[in-house]
Amino acid sequence: MEKELLQSILELGGKGLLLYLLGINILCFLSFAYDKWQAIHRGWRVPEKVLLGQAFLGGALGGILGMYLCRHKTRKPRFLVLMPVALLLWIYLIFGRK
Domain residue extents for the chain: 2-96
pLDDT, tens digit (0-9, with 9 covering 90-100), for 28-55: 999 999 999 999 999 999 999 999 999 9
CA 35 – CA 17 distance, rounded (Å) = 27
Confidence of residue 2 (pLDDT cuts 50, 70, 90): low
- pLDDT score at 97: 64
Cα four-point dihedral sign 8, 90, 92, 3: negative
Q: Which residue has the higher pLDDT, 96 or 20?
A: 20
pTM reported for the whole predicted model: 0.85
CA 65 – CA 80 distance, rounded (Å) = 12
CA 2 – CA 40 distance, rounded (Å) = 34
